[in-house]
Amino acid sequence: MLLRTSKGFGRSLVLVTLALADALLCALAAVVMVLSFGLGMVFLFPATIRLVRRRTALARRIARSWSGVDIADPYRPPPPPPVPQADGWYREGRSLYRTSLVPSFNRALDWMLKDPATWRDLAWVFGQPILGAAVTAVPVIMVAGSVAGLVATGRPLETAAGVLLAVAGLFLAPHTVRLHGRWTELLLAPTEKARLTNELRRVDQARTIIVDVQAAELRRIERDLHDGAQARLVAIGMTLGAAEELVETDPQAARALIAKARDASATSLIELRRMVRGIHPPVLAERGLGDAVRALALDSPLAVTVSVDLPGRSAAPVESAAYFVVSELLTNASRHSGAASVTIDISHRGPALRITVTDDGQGGADPARGSGLRGIERRLAAFDGVLALHSPRGGPTTATVELPHAFQGHAARRAVPAGWRTKLMGVCFGLCWLPLFPQGLVPIVLKIAGVDERSWFLALYLPEPWQWPTLLGMIALGAGMLAFAVAEQSRWKASESNA
């Protein structure tokens, strides 16, 4: 508890310092906006926006690390670089340029101006010195005010109030850090429109990947048929033709040719069955992913251990993708890693299918060097799947595959907070500042500083013995409302992620 509060207070100090430093960035951005759009000095705009994006990227990392708020990048993909024409000139609209400098700048400027995330970043930068500092400065002000009160006066009542104020500030610090993460998420997270646009772009890329994978599979099947089964069937036909000519003149030779043709037909049948298994194994269609992987393990030259824990069967395309991913990982382990044993764990986490393949080989696997890992990533991308690879030199190699939507029909119902808790959480978020600031912190600072000003500070109208308990009670009320709202929101998020 002490470590948590002290760490939260230190993080509040860092966030307050960053918020004050953001005032300089805010002033720079304001000057650049005036110079760019008022005086036409647009060459300053892209460099400033890149600086702003670096600052907001840091804010997203801090929110993820300190507040547990994962904020995705909301930006549109950058434009492709300009391509020269056949004569070496670059065309941009109706103008021609000898170098790519001006076309590249125009594309970057147009990209930044038309991206809504640019203006949301600027709104966050302009609001950070005020709102961001106000959110995180509460515990710092409380502790600083208590220290100032302890130094300024030696009276027991003020001393006790200062100690309580410092303790309350330390207790409140972790909650204000999380609240700052929510404020960052409010402006820097992708909007629904941006999320849908990125999703459509991802679907389009996945469709392209699927088409490429299918085309590659068709080429492979055509090559295998041409080089394997088709050649053998032609040879069988020629052998039977020769046997037909020899059946009357040399029956013994004819019988030998027929036996040879029979052996060739059996070999062709084995090749065709192997090819069918390579397209879609019958055991996968009939028995499901678990038994299909067990069949793979039986055919593997390695010692393979398979454990399966699945709630049911997923869609056929998902099962097929998972099966061939495991097949490729097993092939890599037997051909490239020098492994002797492999462990395959197939399980689920809510609607997600997770496959972990671990071998005791020499390690050093790298998708950049090929070995089928790039093909696995392309196959998984069509289903929003990811491949996480840990393969240090000397081994072991662990490949973790996750397909997030494999068991949609078996997904648990999302935990939605009850109605009264939702309403209470909203009320606490909306009103916690009222007892915390104007009825708590501000009059305490004025009272410690000796300023005789009552204004609308309710506690200062009470008799002297009741003022300090009321002020501390107001701070406790505001801090409790804020803590409840943050805790309830965190509980809701955790319930959703575990569903």
- Confidence at residue 307, expressed as pLDDT on a 0 to 100 scale: 92
Q: How confident is the model at residue 417 (pLDDT cuts 50, 70, 90)?
A: very low
Closest to 52 measured CA to CA, from 19, 28, 80: 28
At which of 410, 428, 448 does a domain end?
410
CATH code, 328 = 3.30.565.10
Statement to judge: residues 57 and 18 lie in one domain: yes
Give the span between the Cα atoms of 277 and 295, in whole angstroms: 11
pLDDT at 54 over 90: yes
104 phi and psi angles, rounded to 5 deg: -65, -40
Q: Does residue 318 share a domain with residue 424? A: no
Tokens of 263: 């052996």
Domain contains 223: yes
What gap in Å lies between CA 116 and CA 193, rounded to an integer?
10
**pLDDT score recorded for residue 56:** 93
**Tens digit of each residue's pLDDT (9 = 90 or more) over 312-362:** 888 888 888 888 888 888 888 888 777 888 999 999 887 889 999 998 888
Q: At what angle do helices 156-188 and 45-66 cross, to 10 degrees?
A: 120
248 part of a folded domain: yes
Q: For residue 71, with 0-12 CB atoms within 10 Å meaning exposed, 13-18 middle and 19 or more buried, which class applies?
A: buried
Among the listed ranges 176-180, 457-461, 493-497, which one has the minimum average pLDDT value? 493-497
Q: Rounded to whole angstroms, how far apart are CA atoms 424 and 369?
A: 55
Q: Classify residue 329: in a domain, yes or no.
A: yes
Report the pLDDT averaged over residues 360-373. 72
CB count within 10 Å of CB 68 equals 12
Domain ranges, residue 124: 2-76+115-190
Sign of CA dihedral 360, 361, 367, 372: negative
pLDDT at 364: 78
> In the prediction, which pLDDT does 49 show?
92
For the segment 277-317, what is each residue's pLDDT rounded down to a tens digit?
656 677 888 888 888 889 888 888 888 899 998 888 888 88
pLDDT in tens, 86-98: 888 888 877 888 8
pLDDT of 396 above 90: no
- Checking if the pLDDT of 46 tops 80, the result is yes
Give the domain-ending residue among 231, 248, 279.
279
* pLDDT (0 to 100) of residue 414: 42
* Average pLDDT rounded to a whole number, residues 122-135: 84
Q: Output the pLDDT for position 371.
A: 53
Whether 47 is in a domain gets the answer yes
Q: How many structural domains is the chain composed of?
A: 4
What mean pLDDT comes out for the span 184-189? 85
In the chain the first and final C-alpha atoms are separated, in Å, by 29
Q: What distance in Å separates the CA atoms of residue 296 and residue 280, rounded to the nearest whole number?
A: 13
Q: What is the mean pLDDT of residues 238-254?
A: 83
State the average pLDDT over residues 43-68.
Answer: 91
72 plus 159 within the same structural domain: yes
Same-domain status, 459 and 316: no
Last residue of one domain, picked from the residues 279, 303, 326: 279
Residue 85 placed within a domain: no
275 and 293 share one domain: no
User: Do 388 and 300 share a domain, yes or no?
Assistant: yes
Residue 161 counted as domain residue: yes
Share of the chain above pLDDT 70, in %: 84
Q: What is the mean pLDDT of residues 209-221?
A: 70
CATH of the domain at 270: 1.20.5
Over 50: is that where the pLDDT of 499 sits? no
* 299 shares a domain with 275: no
User: What residues form DSSP beta bridges with 357?
Assistant: 344, 399
Instruction: Answer yes or no: pTM beyond 0.75.
Output: no
Shared-domain flag, residues 383 and 294: yes
| pLDDT band for position 256 (cuts 50, 70, 90) | confident
Average pLDDT over residues 252-274: 81
Residues 167 and 295 in one domain: no
16 and 153 housed in the same domain: yes
Residue 88 domain flag: no
pLDDT value at residue 238: 87
What is the structure's pLDDT at 57?
A: 92
CA dist., res. 320 & res. 280, Å (int): 7
Q: Are residues 330 and 397 both part of a single domain?
A: yes
Quick check: 138 pLDDT over 80? no
pLDDT at residue number 215: 72
Query: Is residue 299 within 8 Å of residue 334, measured between CB atoms?
Result: no
Q: What is the rounded distance in angstroms from the CA atom of residue 66 to the CA atom of residue 188?
A: 16
Asked whether residue 246 is assigned to any structural domain, the reply reads yes
| Structure token pair of residue 297 | 């393990």
Q: Say how far apart CA 350 and CA 421 lie, in whole Å.
A: 25
Mean pLDDT, residues 117-143 taken together: 83
Q: Do 28 and 165 belong to one domain?
A: yes
